Amino acid sequence: MTTNQEEVKLLGAVGSPFVCSVKIALKLKGIEYNYHEEDLSNKSDLLLKYNPVYKKVPVFIHNEKPISESLVILEYIDEIWKQNPILSSDPYQRALARFWSKFIHDKIVTTSIKAFRIVDDEKEREKNVEESSEALQILENELKEKFFGGNEIGFVDIVAVFIAFWIPLIQDITGLQLFPAEKYPKLYKWSQEFLNHPIVKENVPPRDLLFAYFKARYESLIASK
């Protein structure tokens, strides 16, 4: 738990799945923190000071020391606050969690976001949808228990919030068949259990707000193509 001596701050943006992952991890561990919502069209001096390399959220600041990149932040949080571990104590299980988290970022997050953004090239868009679908199938086959972390939410589940929350949003807005329940029954069941977890439920953004936000962005992409 945090003490009076500790300062824990998170620079975030409500639409970011990477920020959401960090929020879930902090809450799972019961860490209190100051949250600063960034206006990404007018970035704060704090953001530019603390993440000069990427100028992106999330930035996690612990006693004045900033860390960027959500996977790096999650590992740091798990190392500093030992309660409710999100990574196993077994080195091989830790390696697998790191592997699958990187896989989700590289093969699912990146491709789904591209499929959302690339509105002027049907072929390129289709390619990204296919890559994302193949990667989801691989993940579907990997899911053996209630959560990727076993009976409790772990590192991979937290990273996969993108699949549970953001991909259905993208699907509903674009009409792209990214995550049909019948194609991925295990992953779909996982996504429901995950979103119903009390800590996840209180830390994902309001769906209607994000829906409106991304729909407006999508429509402006379509309009300018």
Q: Which two tokens stand for residue 225?
A: 């193509």
Window 125-164: residues binding a second copy (CB under 8 A): 138
55 to 94: interface string for a second copy, x by CB under 8 A: -------x--x-xxx-xxx-xx--xx----------xx-x
Which among 155, 181, 154, 156 has a CA at the least distance from the CA of 167? 181
Quote the least distance from Cβ 154 to a second copy, whole Å.
16
Nearer to a second copy, 158 or 170 (CB): 158
Q: Are 161 and 24 in contact (CB under 8 A)?
A: yes
* Residue listed under structure tokens 């990204």: 128
Quick check: 175 binds a second copy (CB under 8 A)? Answer: no
Quote the least distance from Cβ 148 to a second copy, whole Å.
15
- The partner residues of 150 in beta bridges, in order of sequence, read 147
Quick check: 48 binds a second copy (CB under 8 A)? Answer: no
Nearer to a second copy, 38 or 69 (CB): 69
Residue 199's alpha-carbon distances to 1, 7, 208, in angstroms, are: 17, 22, 19
Quick check: 99 binds a second copy (CB under 8 A)? Answer: yes
3-class DSSP state for residue 197?
A: coil
Quick check: 95 binds a second copy (CB under 8 A)? Answer: yes
User: In this structure, is the dihedral angle defined by the CA atoms of residues 185, 188, 189 and 190, taken in order, positive or negative?
Assistant: positive
**Beta strands 8-12 and 34-37: pairing type?**
parallel
Half-sphere exposure at residue 54, Cβ-oriented, CA atoms within 13 angstroms:
9
Nearer to a second copy, 35 or 99 (CB): 99
Nearer to a second copy, 74 or 200 (CB): 74
Q: Which residues bind a second copy (CB under 8 A)?
A: 53, 62, 65, 67-69, 71-73, 75-76, 79-80, 91-92, 94-96, 98-99, 102-103, 138
